[in-house]
Amino acid sequence: MSVRKKIWGKNAERIAEALERLDPDLARYIQDFAYEEVMARPGLDLKTRELLAITALIALGNPGELKTHLRGALANGATEREVRETIIHSALFLGFPRALGAMKVFSELLARTDERGA
Amino acid sequence: MSVRKKIWGKNAERIAEALERLDPDLARYIQDFAYEEVMARPGLDLKTRELLAITALIALGNPGELKTHLRGALANGATEREVRETIIHSALFLGFPRALGAMKVFSELLARTDERGA
Amino acid sequence: MSVRKKIWGKNAERIAEALERLDPDLARYIQDFAYEEVMARPGLDLKTRELLAITALIALGNPGELKTHLRGALANGATEREVRETIIHSALFLGFPRALGAMKVFSELLARTDERGA
Amino acid sequence: MSVRKKIWGKNAERIAEALERLDPDLARYIQDFAYEEVMARPGLDLKTRELLAITALIALGNPGELKTHLRGALANGATEREVRETIIHSALFLGFPRALGAMKVFSELLARTDERGA
Amino acid sequence: MSVRKKIWGKNAERIAEALERLDPDLARYIQDFAYEEVMARPGLDLKTRELLAITALIALGNPGELKTHLRGALANGATEREVRETIIHSALFLGFPRALGAMKVFSELLARTDERGA
Amino acid sequence: MSVRKKIWGKNAERIAEALERLDPDLARYIQDFAYEEVMARPGLDLKTRELLAITALIALGNPGELKTHLRGALANGATEREVRETIIHSALFLGFPRALGAMKVFSELLARTDERGA
């Protein structure tokens, strides 16, 4: 299974098409280089890579991509607790506003998942 | 064993004294709140916390604290390979200059450890 | 009166409950450590602390927390003029886009306060 | 023709009035200093200046001002291709999330222009 | 007395000459616009402006200019305690590594001043 | 001629070897992906790409890589004036401290080139 499939899950096709429409070259670099070359490297499991991605995206100010990797972490074996810890931990290095912003994004994502699950 | 002792290793006393001299209140917050309260939380092991710390510090532009947590990662079970992967992975989210800067810091740290080990 | 009460004003209970729902541990760190320990320190009055908070949040790209501290500055003795000066001043160090973004947030906040006051 | 007129195009009057309402002093600095003094300097043409502005705004996390300068680049001789290249190029230095966010903003802008043009 | 003279103190001539040698146009913008136009504005005293400048420079990762404004704060009525509080306060918003880096710069500055004073 | 050769000039071999020693995989990504794939794309000439790279690196706080691309800009047709304008222009978006720091790096580079040229 491709790394994209593992991280994007059932949204994989939709995300790939949206990227393609946006810019085919940037889409190719993100898919072939970022996902299937760098993220696919051995030496660090996908769950850890996703927790690191979450930290990097908190540092960048919680852009839209944060949601993708919060979902990706859960889909690759991270527990809700581990994601919360990753966010709380980031407050030490990046300050409380960044951590608080990320916790809001995560909370919305969990709420929506619960609704659909119910 | 305190979290500081686990991360700072044999430099623990020296680092604590330097922090104390710098500012006793900031030292107390870093030691009691950052290390012994937040970093000490269960739910995420210290090795993973140190890889996340490395990512956050790469995002901040590789300040002096990066070295502390590169050492802390190795001292808590991360392999050289895992640290290298953490740095390479960060290039995707934070760009190549940040990753390259971090790899230089890690490389100097490894060189110095080798010298002393020889 | 708690520092939170002084800064959050009449929204204090609502904000505390929202934080609690988000994550009880992060809520506790923000309330007990950030507000009642660090912000409560003597040596710098709350008005100045709020102007500094505004500057830090402008640097972070004007996240949602900016509004909280724009309100907090006004609630602790800062005049509209002083807040405007803080924002204009930040342009020198952080560039015009950051300052402009903050002025838009402040302007909306003032407009909403005026409406309610009328 | 003023630099503002060249960059803001047919929106020039509307933008100037909005700035003025926001804060007359900040408006003056942005118009007189940023646009008519610094941006107006010889030694670098406006098209290049706008591509540089786009890069700086991507680094800042794609705030609202990005749209102004994406439009400004097109209005001063940059092709759609050149703007896309500027965004893709930024991924190397600032990471993929920043570049992806910028491409989304540019894509929306192009879509809206197409609609109106049709 | 010019704002530069108030902030740069006895180093004013040396700093002005160094700026001039670096780039006469950038020097002019920093001196005439940043210092004598924006910093000189009423509505916020110079001491507060310098504490805000310190916060902005901590956010930027403690570049060389931090030292100038740490000195400028002390020269315009801020106590050592107030500067320490400004730095500690910044940890909440910008994380501990930024605050720690700034405290190191301030500590070196105080040590050097003590030496010369003795 | 490879893009690396065009940007790194007579230092090309030395830089490639240093990268290789640092980390062969990161070296490969920087050389094959960053330089020979993305930087090599048509649609934007190398001189413009280097001015954009300078802007991105100023935003990142002038890390070591800035020098590489200041040299790369000069080596690919940018005049000293154009580089100075790029730096001054960045002050509008990223603040004066970032621009000032970059001008110092450029100034040292020019001084060293002059010495060797004499």
For tokens 């924002």, name the residue: C87
- Complete DSSP assignment for B73-85: HHHTT--HHHHHH
Q: Is D60 touching A (CB cutoff 8 A)?
A: no
Over residues F83-114, the pLDDT tens digits come to: 999 999 999 999 999 999 999 999 999 999 87
**Which pLDDT value is given to residue E116?**
72
Four-residue CA torsion sign, E53, E55, E58, E59: negative
pLDDT band, very low/low/confident/very high, at C21 (cuts 50, 70, 90): very high
H or E segment to which residue C9 belongs: none
Mutation test of the interface with chain A: which of F23, F25, F26, F28, choosing the one with the most A Cβ atoms within 10 A? F25
Residue C115 has what pLDDT? 74
Q: State the pLDDT at residue F117.
A: 63
Q: Where do we find the tokens 């290298």?
A: B84
Q: In this complex, do D95 and B93 lie within 8 Å of one another by their Cβ atoms?
A: yes
Chain C residue with Cα closest to A81: C23
Q: pLDDT averaged over chain F?
A: 96
- Output the pLDDT for position B46: 98
| CATH homologous superfamily for the domain D45-118 | AhpD-like (1.20.1290.10)
Give the gap in angstroms from C-alpha E42 to the nearest C-alpha of chain B: 33
pLDDT digits over A72-117, tens only? 999 999 999 999 999 999 999 999 999 999 999 999 999 998 777 6
pLDDT 10s digits, C25-35: 999 999 999 99
Cβ pair E57, E99 in contact under 8 A: no
In total, chain E counts a number of residues equal to 118
CB contact under 8 A, E88 and B29: yes
pLDDT of residue A67: 97
Using a CB–CB cutoff of 8 Å, tell me whether A33 touches chain E.
no
Selection from B57, F95, B98 nearest residue E65 by Cα: F95
The answer to whether the beta carbons of residues B58 and B89 sit under 8 Å apart is: no
| Interface ipTM above 0.85 | yes
C93 at E interface, C-beta within 8 A: yes
Neighbouring subunits of D (3+ Cβ pairs under 8 A): A, B, C, E, F
Confidence of residue C1 (pLDDT cuts 50, 70, 90): confident
Domain ranges of chain A: 1-41, 45-118
Three-class DSSP category at B95: coil
pLDDT of C118 over the 70 cut: no
pLDDT band at B42 (very low <50, low <70, confident <90, very high): very high
Dist CA F35 CA F16 (whole Å): 12
pLDDT beyond 60 at D118: no
pLDDT one-digit tens code per residue, E4-58: 999 999 999 999 999 999 999 999 999 999 999 999 999 999 999 999 999 999 9
F69-88: pLDDT as tens digits: 999 999 999 999 999 999 99
pLDDT reported for residue C117 = 63
CATH number of F44-118, picked from 1.10.3720.10, 1.20.1290.10, 3.40.50.300, 3.20.20.370: 1.20.1290.10
Distance of CA D40 to the CA centre of its chain: 15
Subunits with 3+ C-beta pairs closer than 8 A to C: A, B, D, E, F
Chains A and E: how many Cβ contacts under 8 Å? 16
> Over 80: is that where the pLDDT of C7 sits?
yes
Mean pLDDT of chain A: 96
Nearest to B44 among A34, A41, A89 (CB): A89
- Give the right CATH number for B43-118 from 1.20.1290.10, 3.40.50.11740, 3.40.50.300, 3.40.430.10: 1.20.1290.10
C-alpha E18/C-alpha E15 separation (Å) is: 5
If phi > 0 it is left, if psi is from -120 to 50 it is alpha, else beta; for residue A61 that is left
Q: What does the pLDDT read at residue F116?
A: 72
Q: Is A97 at the interface with chain E, CB within 8 A?
A: yes
Altogether, the residues listed in chain F come to a count of 118
